[in-house]
Structure 1
Amino acid sequence: MRRLKHFSLIIVLATAMVFLTSTAYSQENEPVSPNASPEAKALLKLLYDISGKYTLTGQHNFPNIKGRNTQFAAKYIGKTPVVYSIDMGFARDGDTDSYLARPQIVKEVIEQHRLGSIITICWHAVPPTADEPVTFRPQGKAAPESLASIQGKLLDKQFEEILTPGTDLNRRWQAQVDSVAFYLKKLQQAGVPILWRPYHEMNGGWFWWGGRTGKYSTKALYRQLFDRYVHHHKLNNLIWVWNVDRPNNPDMHFSKYYPGNEYLDVLSLDVYNRDFNQSYYDSLMVLSKGKPFLLGEVGNPPMPEILDKQPNWTLYSTWAGMVRYTSKKDYKILMNDPGILSLEDSAYWQVSAEYRKVSGIDPLPDAFQTTGKIDFTGEWIFDEEESILDNFGPGFAPYKLQIKQSETGLNIQSIYLIEYAENRIEEQNLKFDGSEFESKWRDAPMITTAAWSENNDTLFINSRIVFNRGKGASEMILKDKWTLDKQGEILLIKQYSKSFWGKRNTTLAYRKW
């Protein structure tokens, strides 16, 4: 299971107390919205619980296509993203970003929530200088005083007017945000908690709301929306997600746009072109003061080597239309990593059990409720296509595993294909209490121990084999992580070994027979 591994000395010293509490959930960590709904509290607690341990997969969907992006991702990748992301729309009828799709968005979001997805919503908000629908980019020679697009810049006096109660643009702004609040209330009535990510990428200057500092600033606009939704509309199902883009110049420094801890539950960053710079992560870590954070939008998911150094990304959401920007080879690596969870993964069902119970959706499957531990019992056949192998190929892997699991341990029969003789069968009887089991591997003495992870979703099996090589003994160290995938149909064994052959990292996949 992933743990915090890599931070610069400066960051460690500056935020030592943050690290001590970064994954802890307490009364102080409840949503910033007063009287937050039980579902919202449970969702935020889930993020605290998985921070530093797991990363949830996600997919953004265009508003007007009824979840087609998620459906494509599931088919292309082979697993369904946990996070269902969508925008509230801004464009004309018939456009993929149509604002007229909002009634259908509500229905689809309720259904996705019922299926166990985590919901995140953003909104390419319409500038108060125009009425819906608008375009994404300015069209032709648009007059600056009448901006009618998401991208573009308002006049300074216009932005000031939006933030000044009683003015025409402030009233227009209220009417626009109220129209979206109407649909968020429907989700509140349905008991659906939302990771709400308004005015995203606010440190950039490409959207009309972004890139402003000083008295009449972007963060002031964010606070104004917070006040409108929380205190005027009494929306209590929103987890407030503050979002920025990568700071490619000093004016985009995160701290200049931070509205204050009392206005947000989660911090988030958008990353494209695989630009997972460690300094971005470290800067958010300092700002977060123990709050969880996530990747609001990505062009490519973070690979395991990134997550090893940046373990507190609780989730990511691939932007709509960008699934194929990542190779199937990389997806295979991602989907085989036990720390990266999709909707079918048993570990997700386990870590989300409390959230699902509070939300009134399907509880943990019976197979995981009986003992609290996943059950590896069965006959498993090696699946080379699903495995991740090195230059040695599958020669060292047993082609079949016959496993019997009890409350206290495992009986494992490993059957190896031998080209020149009868197949070799090796048997182990492992206890979950960590006691040593002595056996042989290719006539060399082997000592093995087994123990469950803290959440009982991963079994750690460690072995030490001693070889007598004439002039002296040498040893092989094996460290296995066993998990179940695809609702218990796939056994994944992520294996690290160190010996005179060198260091090896492989993932062996076995399909239930």
Structure 2
Amino acid sequence: MKRLLLIGIFFLQINQMMCQVFQTANKKASSKTVKLFNNLFKALPEGILFGHQDDLAYGLGWEYIPGKSVVQDAVGEYPAMYGWELGDLELDAVFNLDSVPFNKMKEFIKEGYEKGGVITISWHANNPVTGKNAWDIGGNAVGAIIPGGEKHALYKSWLDKVANFMLDLKNANGEYIPVIFRPFHEFTGNWFWWCQNVCSPEEYKALWKFTFDYLTNVKQVHHLLYAYNPEKFETESGYMQYYPGDEYVDIMSFDFYQYGDPSNNNDFENTLDKRLSILTEVARKHKKLPAFAETGFMNIPYPEWFTKKLMKGIGNHQISYLHLWRDGGLVNGTGKYRFAPSQDHFIPVGRDPSFMDFYKLYISNKFIFEKKARDLKLYQ
């Protein structure tokens, strides 16, 4: 009887969640953006959207082949989510920092949207004080670009370029394509100019709030969902330390990668389980979407990593999406930098031993790929 009661309560909570209307941080968000946000909540019991960075742009031994996809090559189906990067857009560059032309990126974004997929965009902006890349931590950059800082005008000019890019993302009917925007991520690390070792919580919150307000109220960009995204954290208070407030955030996520040798320890899956427990609880409290925004194991040297590490760590946690990081492909050589499995003959030692394990992930019904995402009609 007790078990039946618990099951009844569980399904009641799901039904309540599916009937609830969730408010986007931007009160003027476009209709499709609001529908996407609410439909992603409704899709939580259906599975986890599977995403891959730069999936349509390049892979091992190929680049910019129409219709080609890393994930589709591996399992015969496109992902449900497509990630892209704006780094170097602020410099008026033709290519982003991963060598993807911005004009092609816009076409890939439209293509992913037409497949029924979700678009997410990160921004590894260059250091506005030193002029070096995002990994240069000199110059108290955040303090320099928030209101009152000496580089504030420069930062506004950068946001103008981000806004112009976003406002150029339209579907065939001229409607804006919703985007999950994930700026200033991994701030609990120590490698970016906006990280905790060089930026106080007050400075970070001021930067986030100004960015949101400027894009929303000045530039009138109303098709973005904003993702708050630390890296390491061990407590709810640690996760929330830099949080700018519910009125500025739509999605609560984090990044976490496998390092070391997973064959002789369970550190990754145990830590992932712990952090997902914290994430899903805090997201529930704040009525935000929980997501796993970046993950992977570089070159996948442990062939069963997808099922025995990644899936084991996720367990039964309900999260909106999981996003695998990019393959190096032709961008930096011959596949020495990759996170997705491949059946491609460009693998130096032959067939990728992790492929069959990834296929098990694909057929597990735990993850959502293109066909199911299309069936869910996330924008309707």
Equivalent residue, structure 2, for 1:281: 276
Q: Verify: 1:306 aligned to 2:313, yes or no.
A: yes
Q: What count of residue pairs does the alignment treat as equivalent? A: 317
Q: 2:323 & 2:104 partners in 1: Cα distance? A: 21
Structure 2: gaps (5+ residues): 1-8, 260-267, 298-305, 328-338, 342-351
Q: 1:74 & 1:254 partners in 2: Cα distance? A: 35
CA contact (8 A) 2:291 2:321 kept: yes
Q: What TM-score results when the alignment is normalised by the length of structure 1?
A: 0.56
Higher helix fraction (1 or 2): 2
Structure 1: gaps (5+ residues): 1-15, 130-145, 359-513
Q: Verify: 1:316 aligned to 2:316, yes or no.
A: no
Q: What TM-score results when the alignment is normalised by the length of structure 2?
A: 0.73
Equivalent residue, structure 2, for 1:243: 229
Q: Verify: 1:44 aligned to 2:22, yes or no.
A: no
Q: Verify: 1:230 aligned to 2:219, yes or no.
A: no
- Cα RMSD (Å) of the superposition? 3.3
Q: 2:356 & 2:56 partners in 1: Cα distance? A: 29
CA contact (8 A) 2:208 2:244 kept: yes
Q: 1:326 & 1:219 partners in 2: Cα distance? A: 44
Q: 1:79 & 1:61 partners in 2: Cα distance? A: 16
Q: 2:312 & 2:187 partners in 1: Cα distance? A: 28
CA shift, 1:176, in A, is: 0.9
Q: Verify: 1:173 aligned to 2:173, yes or no.
A: no
Map 1:64-75 → 2, pairs under 5 A: 71-75=69-73
Check 1:173–1:81 CA distance in 2 against 1; reply closer, same or farther (3 A cut).
same
Q: SS at the partner of 1:177?
A: helix
Aligned-pair identity (%) = 19
The structure 1 residue matched to 2:54, chosen from 44, 49, 61, is 61
Matched letter for residue 97 of structure 1 = L
CA contact (8 A) 1:304 1:337 kept: no
Equivalent residue, structure 2, for 1:114: 114
Q: 1:74 & 1:63 partners in 2: Cα distance? A: 9
Map 1:59-458 → 2, pairs under 5 A: 59-61=52-54, 71-90=69-88, 97=97, 101-129=101-129, 146-156=130-140, 158-165=141-148, 167-187=149-169, 190-211=175-196, 214=200, 216-247=202-233, 253-273=238-258, 275-276=268-269, 277=271, 278-288=273-283, 289=285, 290-299=287-296, 303-310=310-317, 312-321=318-327, 322-324=339-341, 327-344=354-371, 347-350=372-375, 352-353=376-377, 355-356=378-379, 358=380
The one-character-per-residue Cα deviations of 1:411-451 (angstroms, maximum 9, x if unpaired) are xxxxxxxxxxxxxxxxxxxxxxxxxxxxxxxxxxxxxxxxx
CA contact (8 A) 1:64 1:95 kept: no
CA contact (8 A) 2:225 2:251 kept: yes
CA shift, 1:72, in A, is: 2.0
Matched letter for residue 292 of structure 1 = L
Higher strand fraction (1 or 2): 1
Matched letter for residue 349 of structure 1 = R
Bigger Rg over Cα: 1
CA shift, 1:155, in A, is: 2.8
CA contact (8 A) 1:63 1:97 kept: no
The one-character-per-residue Cα deviations of 1:80-109 (angstroms, maximum 9, x if unpaired) are 111011111328968662688223222221
Q: SS at the partner of 1:268?
A: strand
The one-character-per-residue Cα deviations of 1:137-184 (angstroms, maximum 9, x if unpaired) are xxxxxxxxx24111021333x53231133x430001111121111010
Check 1:334–1:326 CA distance in 2 against 1; reply closer, same or farther (3 A cut).
farther
Q: 2:369 & 2:82 partners in 1: Cα distance? A: 11
Matched letter for residue 163 of structure 2 = A
Matched letter for residue 152 of structure 2 = N
Matched letter for residue 268 of structure 1 = S
Q: SS at the partner of 1:168?
A: coil
CA shift, 1:79, in A, is: 2.5
Matched letter for residue 151 of structure 2 = L
